[in-house]
Structure formats: C-alpha cells, structure tokens
Amino acid sequence: MRSNPERTAWIILSSAFATFWLIIISMIGFVYWVVFLDTEPFTTELTSVRGIVLIGNSTSPLSTSVTDGGTTDIRAGFSVSTDNTSQAILAFIGDSSLTMYGNTTIVLHETEKPHFSISSSPTQIIVEVKKGRVRATSALGRDGLVFDVVTPQTTVQLSQGSFSIEVSGTETQITTRLGQAKVIGNGIITTIEQNNRVIVNEHGQPSLPLPSAQNLLGDDNLSHNFTNSWEIYEIDFSENVTTSVQTIQFQNRTVLDLLSWGQNNIHTEAGATKKVNKDVRDFRSLRLFAEVSLVNQSLPGGGQLGSEFPIMVHIAYKDADGNDRDWFHGFYYITPPETYILYDQPDNSSERIARYLWYPYESENLLSTLGPAKPVFIKSIHLYASGWIYHSMITNISLLAEE
C-alpha cells in the first residue's frame, strides 16, 4: 500500500494547529484562573483589648501571648484563647472583624483572598468557636465575602451585618443585631432575621427564631430546680426571731416567699443568690424585671441607713476597669420618718408601693443610667428581705439583655 504524502501533511498540519489552539486555550484558561479564580492567604491582625491573650500555632507545641494593647499577625491554623480577664479583636481585611470576650477559644481555619482585585471570587473566612462568646462583623455580602463561623453544634453563614455567637455547654446561640444569618444544623437551614436569635442544641437541632432579648437568669423563673441554681441564705442574730426562704404556689404562680416572725426590733436577713457570670459589654440594653408583693413590714422605709427593705434586689458586677460594683433597688410600703435615709441614686434607689398588690417593676437601662460605672460583667444577683418583721414575695424575675 503506497503512502499518501499529501494526506500525511494535512494530518501533521491539523495536529499542529489543534495543539496550537489547545495551548492558547490552556493559557487563556490558566490566565483566567490566576486572574479571576486564584486565591492567596492573608494574615489577620490580632489585638489584645485587655489582659493576656494566648496564641497557639498548629506547627509548634509552644504558645505565645499578647498583652494589653499589643498587636500581632496570625494566619490560618492559629488558635486564640482569652480568660475571664482578657478580650481580643481579630481584624480581617476589608473591615470585617471578630471580637472575642472572656473565656473564649477560637481556631482560625481559613483566610483566603483573591490574588487580583479584578477577581470575582469572594474572600473566605472560616472561624471555629470552640467555647465562649464572639461578635462577628461581616463588611460584605456573600458575593464578596464568605464568612462562616463553625461551632460544635452548627455552622453559621453570615451575610453583611453584625452577629453574636455564643457556645455555652452543649448549645450554641446565634443573635443577629444587623443583617441576616443562616444556621445549618442537623440537615436544617434556618434563617435568622435582624433582631432575632436561634439556639442550636447538642444534637444540632435549631430552635425557631426567638426575640433578641435574653434572660441572663435562665428560663426557670424560680420554678424549676430552684435549689440547684439558687443558694438560700438566712442571717438570724437571735433565737427569738425565725426566718424562712422558700418557693411556694400562690395565686396560681410560683413565688419566692421571704418571711420572718417573732420578736420585733431585731435585725435579720433572708434571701437567695444566683451566680450569673455573664459578660454584657456588647449588649445595648440591660434591664431588670420582677413582680413583687409586700405583705408585712415592721421597720419603716429602709431603716435608718436606707439598707433594710422587705424586698431588696442586689446585682453584683464589674465595671470596665475591673472594679467590683453593686446595684441596689428596694421596695417598701411604710413611709419612714424624715430622719431615715432613702437613697435615690442610679446604683442605689428604692420606691414605695401599695401593700398586698402585685407590683410589676422594670428598671431603667443599666447600661446607660450607670454611666462610666456601667456593668461589663454580671457576677451574681441577690433577692432578699432585710429588717425586723417582714413578709414579702417576688416572682417573674428576669435580667433581660438585648443585643
């Protein structure tokens, strides 16, 4: 069979032409990928707002630290931890950020940006919150920034806005102050609109959207496992006076009943204390709500020094400088003599209410009325009666913090 030189030449020419175009297309594709799709890692600026912040490196068994006001750069793979005396801010490119509050640990899993500014690929930030509370601020929508926060229970996809994510025990709580977030848990995608929150349980099951305000005292409202979460105390200075602190059913509600009886003119105190241990520096509003009823009172007003009331609410907290501070509010129905003290200050006040009636009390916003002395960390709350002979009740107690 004789060869066909002309045919062979055409095959060689066609192959060369195809190879040429394949190279051109590959080069165009490579250039497109580099210009429009390629990403590169970026560093993140970490600043200690207060206290000592620990930094861990996945490639090194040793940890480093940043102290008050100090700044350093970290990259993907680093972990950051705060204790109850420290706070940190991670500043990403493009004005996005992550604020870490006390007793919080995070791992920075991914920080990638487009190689060229004309790229249509979004910047990517993935942060894992192992425990504690963070405030995430996303400066762009999902087209420009894929900002995801991962917790042991769920993945939170952030849009442009500001969000609070708290990992506490076996659940994650997500609150939107501004913008919209999607929560992915147990195969379910839940959208959280602005000023709402969602709680994801240990099985990854998200709750229905809830109002953004949350009760820092929990939802037991004195009725469930009261003695497990509240510590009862009684101070008696004489065998002639007996005090009692207990929860009872009264008028179809569960109330905390505070009672003393016996000889008059002898000081006693009886109440219950609950540890709160909540950081509130990132909330906009903090208000105390309660329903109180006064049944009996032998010592007028709050006593000579304005410190002994048939019902007193006391919140122990720390201010921004780490100082221990207190907030008091008392209730009475017997008007005291003019020589008795009744304080009327933002951190120590009282009011006269009608006897026997249930009085719904709502405090002012403690984050604004207390000025520079406002709380940043709530330590505990005390509900107590103090004075001579008294009988009082309190129910529906809540300390509502609003994002």
Question: Which pLDDT score, from 0 to 100, does residue 345 have?
Answer: 95
Mean pLDDT of 177-184: 91
Question: Which pLDDT score, from 0 to 100, does residue 368 have?
Answer: 92
Lowest mean pLDDT among 55-59, 93-97, 257-261: 55-59
Give 122's DSSP letter: P
**Is the pLDDT confidence value at 167 over 50?**
yes
CA distance 197 to 213: 8
CA distance 215 to 221: 10
Whole-number percent of the chain with pLDDT over 90 = 60
Mean pLDDT of 35-62: 81
SS3 403: coil
Residue 238: which pLDDT band, with cuts at 50, 70 and 90?
Answer: confident
- pTM of the entire predicted model: 0.69
Residue 224: which pLDDT band, with cuts at 50, 70 and 90?
Answer: low
Q: What are the extents of the domains in the chain? A: 40-211, 226-402
Give the pair of three-digit tokens for residue 384: 């107590």
Query: pLDDT per residue over 69-118, tens digit each?
Result: 899 999 999 999 999 888 898 999 988 999 898 899 999 999 999 876 67
Mean pLDDT of 370-375: 95
Query: pLDDT per residue over 275-286, tens digit each?
Result: 999 999 888 889
Whole-number percent of the chain with pLDDT over 70 = 93
What would the CATH number be for the domain defined by 40-211?
A: 2.60.120.1440
Question: Which pLDDT score, from 0 to 100, does residue 360 have?
Answer: 85
Domains 40-211 and 226-402 share a fold: yes
Q: Mean of the per-residue pLDDT values for the chain? A: 88
Question: Which pLDDT score, from 0 to 100, does residue 87 have?
Answer: 84
**Is the pLDDT confidence value at 18 over 80?**
no
What percent of the residues of the chain are helix, what percent strand, and what percent coil, each to the nearest 5? 10, 55, 35
Question: Which pLDDT score, from 0 to 100, does residue 117 have?
Answer: 67
Residue 1: which pLDDT band, with cuts at 50, 70 and 90?
Answer: very low
**Is the pLDDT confidence value at 230 over 70?**
yes
CB environment 11-40: b (16+ within 10 A), e (fewer): eeeeeeeeeeeeeeeeeeeeeeeeeeeebe
Per CATH, domain 226-402 is 3.30.2040.10: no
